[in-house]
């Protein structure tokens, strides 16, 4: 892929992000942060490539460390967001 294509994807994704996230109400700002944080754990893909295909020792070690951090980010982020969101209830849903 050439650099222009990649930049196009980058810029368009930012615009999509702005459009979607502007509509998130303040009441959900914390879950938005922790949820989007889990998504920024997408670096896990890069870590998998480095740890999984690395040929040199340094690449493997660094990839492994990155994999651990990114996985904490992903698993912890989605779980804690789920925990928080499941608390947001309207009175009717909770059986009074």
Partner 1 sequence: MVELGYLLAAILFIVGLKGLTHPRSAVRGNLIGSMGMLVAVVTVLLAQEILNPGLIVAGVALGSAIGAVLALTIKMTAMPQLVGLYNGFGGIASVLVAGAVLYQVLGIGAAAAVGTTTADLQMLVATSASGLIGAVTFFGSLVAFGKLQGIVTEKPVRYRGEQIVKVLVTLVSLALAVMVVRTPDQIEYYWALAGVASLLGILLVIPIGGADMPIVVALLNSYSGLAAAATGFVLTNTVLIIAGSLVGASGIILTNIMCKAMNRSLANVLFGGVGAVQESAGGDDIYEGRVKSTSAEEVAMILKSARSVVIVPGYGMAVARAQTPVRILTEALEADDVTVNFGIHPVAGRMPGHMNVLLAEENISYDKLREMDQINPEFANTDVAIVLGANDVVNPVARESSGSPISGMPILDVDKARTVVVIKRSLSPGFAGIPNPLFAADNTLMLFGDGKKVMDDLVSAYRDA
CB of 57 to partner 1, least distance (A): 9
Residue from 4, 36, 31 nearest 17 by CA: 36
CB of 11 to partner 1, least distance (A): 8
DSSP conformation class of 73: I
- Phi first, then psi: give them for residue 14, nearest 5 degrees: -65, -40
What stretches of 2-95 show up as alpha helix (H) in DSSP? Answer: 3-21, 29-40, 43-53, 57-71, 77-85
CB of 41 to partner 1, least distance (A): 6
């Amino acid at each position: 892929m050439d650099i222009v294509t990649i930049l196009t994807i980058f810029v368009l994704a930012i615009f999509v992000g702005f459009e979607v996230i502007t509509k998130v109400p303040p009441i959900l700002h914390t879950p938005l942060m922790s949820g989007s944080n889990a998504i920024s754990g997408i670096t896990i893909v890069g870590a998998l490539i480095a740890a999984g295909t690395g040929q040199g020792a340094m690449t493997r070690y660094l990839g492994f460390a990155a994999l651990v951090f990114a996985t904490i980010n992903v698993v912890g982020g989605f779980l804690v967001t789920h925990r928080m969101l499941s608390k947001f209830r309207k009175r009717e849903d909770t059986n009074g």
